């Protein structure tokens, strides 16, 4: 029998919900590329419930305990005295979410000799030291595509919120005002703007598809060029590097994985090559942007706005400059954790566990590392250099 250690974010401050705003969520059976949504043999939750917090337990407790497994759930994940570190030495499986990651560093992996499987409930496994996982023969898996559309919707929302100056306008209403001039002094139409994505994988391409009806110019840069027919369908222009793309864009959205090649990619030099008054939306990873360079660019006016839901470190300290810099639209890391997405990534996590316990192959598209090598989605998203160590470790 296995010990499964699951790290999830805390419950709502007012307690775990007893009811929800909606009685149901739409049933999605396939994603845009034809891949089926998770197909576990069963689930022990109602889609639309809060599953990603400690009390939600990803809907896994009954399944695991009926199978004779030990299931430990905690939100306490930082420092040597954390529940994560205390429970890790004899854990067989570790599960966490990108929104509240269990940072599986080389040091932690070395202290967990029984560890065989690391699962990301969602997408993005850069909180795991892939090189260390590979060296120890640990399988790393995530629920690929489960919340890609959720994130892409969040990106479009944030682009519109920045360009139309929505958040300050809303705040005037909350304060009892009717200050139309103040609201519109920084408000523009997105129509006719040039919008580019750094990476056009599942999330980036979904953003492009959703933005096409807005009659904007679309651009992208990626290590893997889209098929010619896809470029024609979207009317999108390919750029061989980030520098050439950002120079022509009014809005840049970042949808790339974090690895050594993308860490601090948007530094002062690159931001200086952007149009003055451009916008950046980053729902990928906080460390892709230089923290202080972003704040300075907003203060100087080089950037007109910055929004996103990814920070470094996470959770962000109270004095993080992104909380107080001007013209931002930051949120906690929530873009991929809607209740709709939770139903999919909880089901996908169970599917992965069912396969693991039964000795059946895990879906290829869910694999990041397997059998001592990058595999599946990991072989596409990460380079060999990326496996040399996680870039998204907590600050020390």
Q: Same structural domain for residues 137 and 182?
A: no
How far is CA 264 from its chain centroid?
Answer: 17
For residue range 377-391, list pLDDT tens digits in order. 888 877 655 555 544
| pLDDT at residue 295 is higher than 70 | yes
Q: Same structural domain for residues 129 and 251?
A: no
pLDDT band with cut points at 50, 70 and 90 for residue 396: very low
Q: Same structural domain for residues 28 and 112?
A: yes
Tell me the C-alpha distance between 139 and 100, whole Å.
20
Distance linking the first and last C-alpha atoms of the chain: 35
Q: Same structural domain for residues 158 and 243?
A: yes
Tokens coding 113: 């000799």
Report the side by side order of strands in the sheet with 93-96: 70-74, 3-7, 93-96, 117-120, 139-142, 367-370, 373-374
Is residue 396 situated within a structural domain? no
CATH number at residue 86: 3.40.50.720
Is residue 11 situated within a structural domain? yes
Tell me the C-alpha distance between 75 and 54, whole Å.
7
Q: Same structural domain for residues 161 and 278?
A: yes
| pLDDT at residue 145 is higher than 90 | yes
Q: Same structural domain for residues 49 and 82?
A: yes
Q: Is 287 exposed, middle or buried (0-12, 13-18, 19+ CB in 10 A)?
A: buried
Tokens 């369908």 belong to 233
| pLDDT at residue 304 is higher than 90 | yes
Q: Same structural domain for residues 93 and 136?
A: yes
For 180, residues 6+ apart whose C-beta sits below 8 A from its C-beta are none
Tell me the C-alpha distance between 285 and 126, whole Å.
9
Is residue 117 situated within a structural domain? yes
Q: Same structural domain for residues 139 and 13?
A: yes
Q: Same structural domain for residues 198 and 311?
A: yes
Is residue 365 situated within a structural domain? yes
Q: Same structural domain for residues 319 and 366?
A: no
Tell me the C-alpha distance between 393 and 271, whole Å.
24
Q: Same structural domain for residues 171 and 259?
A: yes
Q: Tell me which residues are annotated as active site.
A: 147, 285, 314, 333
Q: Which domain holds residue 133?
A: 3-146+337-388
Is residue 314 situated within a structural domain? yes
Q: Same structural domain for residues 127 and 170?
A: no
| Mean pLDDT over the full length of the chain | 95
In the chain, the number of structural domains is 2
Question: What's the pTM value of the predicted model, to 2 decimals?
Answer: 0.93
Tell me the C-alpha distance between 308 and 253, whole Å.
9
């Amino acid at each position: 029998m296995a010990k499964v250690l699951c790290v999830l974010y805390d419950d709502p401050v007012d307690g775990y919900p007893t009811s929800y705003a909606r009685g149901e969520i739409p049933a999605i059976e396939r994603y845009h590329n034809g891949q089926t949504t998770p197909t576990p043999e069963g689930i022990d939750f109602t889609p639309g419930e809060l599953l990603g917090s400690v009390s939600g337990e990803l809907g896994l407790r009954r399944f695991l305990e009926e199978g004779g497994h030990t299931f430990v759930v905690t939100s306490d994940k930082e420092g040597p005295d954390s529940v994560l570190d205390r429970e890790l030495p004899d854990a067989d499986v570790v599960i966490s979410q990108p929104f509240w990651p269990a940072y599986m560093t080389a040091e932690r992996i070395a202290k967990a000799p029984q560890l065989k499987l690391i699962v990301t409930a969602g997408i993005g496994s850069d909180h795991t030291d892939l090189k260390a996982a590979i060296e120890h023969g640990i399988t790393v898996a995530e629920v690929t595509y489960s919340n890609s559309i959720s994130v892409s919707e969040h990106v479009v929302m944030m682009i519109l919120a920045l360009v139309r100056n929505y958040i300050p306008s809303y705040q005037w209403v909350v304060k009892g005002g009717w200050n139309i001039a103040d609201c519109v002094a920084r408000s523009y139409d997105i129509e006719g703007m040039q919008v580019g994505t750094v990476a056009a994988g599942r999330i980036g391409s979904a953003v492009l598809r959703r933005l096409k009806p807005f009659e904007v110019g679309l651009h992208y840069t990626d290590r893997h060029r889209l098929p010619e027919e896809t470029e024609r369908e979207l009317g999108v222009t390919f750029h061989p590097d980030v520098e050439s793309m950002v120079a022509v864009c009014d809005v840049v959205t970042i949808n790339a994985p974090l690895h050594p090649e993308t860490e601090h990619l948007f530094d002062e030099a690159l931001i200086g090559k952007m149009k003055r008054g451009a916008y950046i939306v980053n729902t990928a990873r906080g460390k892709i942007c230089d923290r202080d360079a972003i704040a300075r660019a907003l203060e100087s006016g080089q950037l007109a706005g910055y929004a996103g839901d990814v920070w470094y470190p996470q959770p962000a300290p109270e004095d993080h400059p992104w909380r107080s810099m001007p013209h931002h639209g930051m949120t906690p890391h929530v873009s991929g954790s809607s209740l709709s997405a939770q139903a999919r990534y909880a089901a996908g996590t169970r599917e992965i566990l069912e396969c693991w316990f039964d000795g059946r192959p895990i879906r290829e598209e869910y694999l990041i590392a397997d059998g001592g090598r990058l595999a599946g989605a990991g072989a596409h998203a990460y380079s060999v250099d990326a496996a040399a160590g996680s870039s998204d470790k907590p600050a020390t």
